[in-house]
Chains A and B, each alone.
Chain A
């Protein structure tokens, strides 16, 4: 079995290429950090396995991602390397290519996004480029699926045997050090000449992973000269040599097709959307548009239709059927008032959630999300975080667990911890059904605006807490945020459809698992009491639990024990809050919902409750993720306590101050 390592800079279309080559769909986006995990895929009709490694700028690691790639080369030694580059950014991309070509394995260089390059009036003499680099060069456009068959054929035809590594003309002192060290490594440690040569170059280049490897394997020819290498600043000399080589190579191989205006479309759009003043309002405007589509224009009408079907014909038919077969009232209530009303009630929000996910997929595929990170970087800098923290935070809009995992891309441990702790404040999609329930009842004319305000309140609380943590943890390191701004694309419908489905199918799956389980649990608790089956819900276990803590919640405007009991089930998963409320309040359809809620809440107390739901204790899966990522139960426990306290204080402030005016 031949192993191909897929390596390249971030945002070169590596993941798209991986999906196309391996006939396996993977999430496609412009995010840095999407491919944090190593992914394996088999090329169709072959025994060739492609390993998708995180996007990196060089093998000298700064981040955890880069360390993964370097460690892979050191320890797994792939048979071949597929180096994906952005053809329009070849000068910068080739810094990594050189390091890979020096590794001594066959390299196939894919010049991806070739159409963008040609649109700029530039092309390359591929034969000359291949000759100078000593590898195969193929032009591709993964998004349009062009050049992929040729690339696949090239990979299958390339013999997976060691090849002559690229030799650059390093300055005499550097070359002498490389030669001396690599010869000793070959003689004393039986390393292959190519690997020894690469190891020596990387060691001289202060690659910390390679230095750790040398320490671990006691590679004395390198270790004993470390000080001398560093004193002579070999790292800078290596960098300059590589840069000169790239300049020479590109000058000799670049072909100008025609004159083009510098002001291309991407630059024109970027001048507006990344504008220091306009950038942020545009970002807010795009989010408002997204919520308008989800809650006002498309999502809600569809959700209403689905809700009418579930609470109407479906419930009635199920009820009639159960009566006709002689089901006892307990079973009928469990199925109709419990499962159909509870699970069905949450499922009726599917259109809203899918419209929102489709919008997010459009933003990702168009290339806007990278700009959003850039725009928010300015805001984040004011807080002391960098824009990189925005990426896990915005991923947290989908699911907080995924967001917390994405925080792995942040290299500074303290910054990573802060991002992990503030991630649960991001309003995940699981909270959408409960928002939907309340905005439909109290804010019918401003549904999108209310939901938007909750999302931004979540961001504001997260940023405020980040500032406090910065001060408490005494974080002074200021890491630089670099993000590739890909060219804008017209979003591809199949990528949007797949992205939406990939994000949304978890919600549907949860309906059959935790939402179903949670709904049955709350139904049982509301139908059973200390004396067995109860006919009056006020005598049930759930009433006893809710009434016990109700006095604590009166100051924030909650006057019903049902709300408290429903909030408690949110620890299972946030969607369960909605199904629990539907079961506990016996809500059925929009009219019943508005009638029930209007006697228990005012618009102000409803908003205070939504704020509480936004901020309070994360769900169990998020807590487990915090524990796993911080390696500490203490932080998970801290997250429960701190977020519940903050949620209470925020809701209290809104309700009490609001009561003075409303």
Chain B
């Protein structure tokens, strides 16, 4: 495996970690419901509703 490929994989892992941390902090910052890890029925229904709206538009 070339050095370039090694560096590329390291960059992808670190970049990926950065993205998930950014997303986590952004989600947490949004407050109660989005920050809550519990995927309750209300959240599931909301996602379904958003998907339906997305498909219909």
A624 x B28 contact (CB < 8 A): yes
Complex interface bits, B25-54 against A, C-beta within 8 A gives 1, otherwise 0: 101111111011111111011000100000
- A297 to B16, alpha carbons, bound, how many Å? 38
Give, as a whole number of angstroms, the nearest-CB distance from A342 to chain B: 11
- A41 to B30, alpha carbons, bound, how many Å? 25
Q: A24-B41, A572-B21 are in contact. Are A625 and B36 (CB under 8 A)?
A: yes
- A326 to B41, alpha carbons, bound, how many Å? 47
B21 x A401 contact (CB < 8 A): no
List the 7 shortest-distance A-B pairs measured between CB atoms, nearest first: A26-B41, A628-B31, A506-B37, A520-B17, A517-B21, A621-B28, A326-B1
Chain B residues contacting A627 (CB-CB under 8 Å) are: 31
- A402 to B32, alpha carbons, bound, how many Å? 8
Q: Nearest B residue to A401 by beta-carbon distance?
A: B36
A443 within 8 Å of B by Cβ? Answer: no
Q: A516-B20, A517-B20 are in contact. Are A27 and B31 (CB under 8 A)?
A: no
For the residues of B in contact with A, the DSSP-based class is helix
Chain A residues contacting B41 (CB-CB under 8 Å) are: 18-19, 24-27, 39, 41, 52
Number of A-B residue pairs with CB-CB distance less than 8 Å in the complex they form: 123
Chain A residues contacting B38 (CB-CB under 8 Å) are: 27, 398-399, 402, 502-503, 506
B24 x A24 contact (CB < 8 A): no
Q: Which residues of B contact A (CB under 8 A)?
A: 1, 3, 6, 9-10, 13-14, 16-18, 20-21, 23-25, 27-33, 35-42, 44-45, 49
Give, as a whole number of angstroms, the nearest-CB distance from B42 to chain A: 4
A405 x B1 contact (CB < 8 A): no
- A91 to B1, alpha carbons, bound, how many Å? 76
Q: A41-B45, A331-B9, A628-B31 are in contact. Are A509 and B37 (CB under 8 A)?
A: yes
Chain B residues contacting A629 (CB-CB under 8 Å) are: 32
- A26 to B36, alpha carbons, bound, how many Å? 15
A-B contact pairs, 15 of them (CB 8 A): A24-B45, A27-B40, A39-B41, A39-B42, A327-B9, A328-B3, A334-B13, A510-B37, A514-B24, A520-B14, A521-B21, A623-B28, A624-B29, A625-B31, A627-B31
Give, as a whole number of angstroms, the nearest-CB distance from A634 to chain B: 16
A38 within 8 Å of B by Cβ? Answer: yes
Q: Which residues of A contact B (CB under 8 A)?
A: 18-19, 24-27, 37-41, 52, 325-328, 330-331, 334-335, 339, 398-399, 401-402, 404-405, 502-503, 505-507, 509-510, 512-514, 516-521, 524, 572-573, 619-625, 627-629
Give, as a whole number of angstroms, the nearest-CB distance from B37 to chain A: 3
- A627 to B30, alpha carbons, bound, how many Å? 10
- A521 to B21, alpha carbons, bound, how many Å? 9
Chain A residues contacting B39 (CB-CB under 8 Å) are: 502, 505-506
Beyond A502-B38, A620-B28, A625-B35, list 12 extra A-B contacts (CB 8 Å).
A24-B44, A24-B45, A27-B41, A40-B45, A327-B1, A334-B13, A398-B38, A506-B39, A572-B24, A624-B29, A628-B31, A629-B32
- A52 to B45, alpha carbons, bound, how many Å? 11
B32 x A404 contact (CB < 8 A): yes
B40 x A26 contact (CB < 8 A): yes
Chain A residues contacting B29 (CB-CB under 8 Å) are: 620, 624
Chain B residues contacting A621 (CB-CB under 8 Å) are: 27-28, 35-37
Q: A399-B37, A621-B35 are in contact. Are A328 and B45 (CB under 8 A)?
A: no
- A517 to B24, alpha carbons, bound, how many Å? 9
Chain A residues contacting B36 (CB-CB under 8 Å) are: 399, 401-402, 405, 621, 625
Q: Nearest A residue to B44 by beta-carbon distance?
A: A24
A401 x B45 contact (CB < 8 A): no
Chain A residues contacting B40 (CB-CB under 8 Å) are: 26-27, 37, 502
A624 x B24 contact (CB < 8 A): no
Chain A residues contacting B13 (CB-CB under 8 Å) are: 334-335, 339, 520
Give, as a whole number of angstroms, the nearest-CB distance from A50 to chain B: 10
A516 x B49 contact (CB < 8 A): no
